Chain A
Amino acid sequence: MGGTVFAQGSAPEAPPAPGSQAGSSVDLSVKQRPTLTPADMVNQSKEYFTGMGAVVKRIQTLQDQAKREKDIIRLNCVTDKLVQARVNVNIAEQSMATMQESISRNDEGEQTHEFTRLTIVNQKVTVLGAEAENCIGEDLSFVGATRVDVEVDPNIPQYDPTQPGSPFIDITRPPSASPID
């Protein structure tokens, strides 16, 4: 996960593990508790999964496209995004399971925490989808089809001077004569 975050650069940080120091410094539960019931969280999380699934499917399409075009640079980029997206989907699935358990235990703090993780992971997958769309691969260095420009000295004749000459018709005036018929 740490590696994934490092690779994304500007992507939002993943939520800290439950009970960590960083997690305890943010009081999200107070703000979200009035707006989302446990059922709303579950429904919203399902929408997140639908969206993330669509993003993963789109990145797979981009991967197939890069394979067909034999664009190795773009393929590497898209595959990297796909791997990261799948990892984040796995994290989201774990959070979903934990959230549902916390709902059954009626643990509001845990519910809010896992929902928050789901929200952030969803945002991250969305960002990965956008980054995959922006993988341009060889377009970056593609300069067009190979074209050969030949500059021929205009003094060089266009015809082939190595060919034998054409037969020329002889219609010259004959020399003066006094023939004997």
Chain B
Amino acid sequence: MNRRFALLIGLGALLAGRTASAQEVTIGYQGLPSKSSGESNTGIQVADGVLLHAGVGVEAGYDTNVFYAPSNTVGSSIFRFMPYAEITNATRTGPVSKELTFDARAGLQYRHYGNSEVSNAGFADSWNPNAGLSLNLGGAQFGLGVADVFARIEDAPYANPTNSNTNGVPSGAPSIQRDNNQASIEGRWSPGGGRLTGVLRFTNMVNIYDNNGMGTYSYANAMTNTLMLDVAWKWLPKTAIFLNVSQSYVDYFNQTAAANNSIANSYPLYVTAGLRGLLTEKTSAVLTVGYVNAFYSTGASTTGFLGSTYLDLAFTARLTQLSRAVVGFRHDFLNAVITNFAYEETAYASYVQQIAGRLGLDLSGRYAYLSYQGDAGDPTQEGRVDNLFQIGATLDYFLRNWAYLGVGYSFLDNRSNKPNDEYLKQQVFARLGVTY
């Protein structure tokens, strides 16, 4: 299912604009804002009904643990520079109902560590581009949508006592480079008065780890194809019960390398049902329960009552017109790279507050329990259990509706039954930018 807690690098808005859902909330440190928290009315009119948004932001701060090490940590100053551009036929106040809507966006994140030890090890700089395109055709009864999103991240490798030098810098492990492209096409059908809606969607995701060698993940390069059918019946205008069936196929490109690392192809199946939409004028929910089976071709697979159960409970409350709170819990499994999979229990919360249309506060946190199952390529990783705590906080003040400055804080704490995999990482930032 959706990995809603991913680092979105500004792409969330692109997809959320296509089929916005109240429950899709980004947890953790929030990227630079692309819009004022109030009525922004930004964008350059480049043609009739076409707006160009563009911006650039910089962040400077400190990272306490560049290499996610359990001890002997290496801290460094950190600098990030992020330009972006977006072209859309949405209006300045947001998407509007049209027979044709489109949104194309591209951005880049440049990151630099100032610590000379990090520089000398070759991990000082990284370039992380991202791009996305979405296109929607059709009206109220029939609709067709296509979308493609690409993102790349490059980050410093993990360090632990077995692979790092006396200064805590990993020796021999290249940086982690991950490229991900996700394309999707969907058809929407809503006959009659729109009480019954159906969505048939095909998604193709290609996941590539670039580097080879120790501490890299190229053996896990894979393609995932997913076919999803969602049927919803609205018994109220903004509230529906639904049935969702999703079948995926995860195919590793290098079967030999995958087998050597004890991971295998799989055919995850989800059959879920529940409720989506408003409970009251100010409260909405996604309540989902269902059956799940990972169907791994070899090795361990999801079993038992808990292993076959999917549960997603998310509540959103608009406390005031300028504030929103989200709490949620999810029980799922996660296709992993160190074993076939991990059972995942996640609890999260988010609070967003706007003040006078100028100030935007975002607080969020998550706890994730990950229990890795089955054989591992590295036998020392078998039976690994991670407890990941994540907190993000940002506060941005818009001097104008196109210029802002702010501060941010990120907290990551992984507590594991494998001591070498534990880490505590904190980042603080001051940030400023323009976006129009």
Q: Which residues of A come within 8 Å of B, CB atoms?
A: 153-181
Contact = CB atoms under 8 A, between A and B. Distances in A.
Interface string B406-432: 000000000000001100000000000
Interface residues on B, range: 35 or more
Contact of B284 (A153, A157, A166, A175): A157
Given A164-B276, A165-B19, 15 more contacts: A157-B238, A157-B278, A161-B20, A162-B277, A163-B20, A166-B16, A167-B182, A168-B3, A169-B15, A169-B182, A171-B9, A174-B337, A176-B68, A178-B381, A181-B257
B160 A156 contact: no
A178 B217 CA distance: 9
A181 B15 contact: no
B277 A180 contact: no
B238 A161 contact: yes
Contacts of B336: 175
B215 A180 contact: no
A167 B201 contact: yes
B21 A171 contact: no
B386 interface: yes
Nearest to A168: B2
Contacts of A168: 2-4, 6, 8, 12, 15, 24
Interface centre among B209, B239, B281 (most CB of A within 10 A): B281
A151 to B, nearest CB: 12
A181 B214 CA distance: 8
Interface of B: 2-9, 11-12, 15-16, 18-24, 68, 94, 147, 149, 151-153, 155, 158, 160, 162-163, 176, 178, 180, 182, 184, 197, 199, 201, 203, 205, 207, 209, 212-220, 226, 228, 230, 232, 234, 238-240, 242, 244, 257, 260-261, 276-278, 281-282, 284, 318, 321, 336-338, 370, 377-378, 380-381, 386, 420-421
Contact of A176 (B2, B158, B244): B158
Contacts of B277: 161-162
B17 to A, nearest CB: 9
Nearest to A167: B203
A155 B282 contact: yes
B136 to A, nearest CB: 12
A166 B219 contact: no
Contacts of B318: 155
A181 B230 contact: no
Contacts of B220: 174
Contact of B278 (A156, A158, A179): A156
B378 A180 contact: yes
Contacts of B278: 156-157, 161
A175 B386 contact: yes
A172 B214 contact: no
A169 B149 contact: yes
A170 B12 contact: no
A180 B259 CA distance: 10
Contacts of B216: 179, 181
Contact of A181 (B5, B178, B180, B212): B212
Contacts of B205: 167, 169-170
Contact of B176 (A153, A154, A170, A174): A174
Instruction: Give me the 10 closest cross-chain CB pairs, A-B, nearest first.
Output: A162-B240, A159-B20, A166-B15, A176-B158, A170-B3, A165-B21, A178-B378, A164-B230, A177-B338, A161-B22
Contacts of A181: 212-214, 216, 218-219, 257, 260-261
Nearest to A159: B20
Nearest to A175: B338
A180 B377 contact: yes
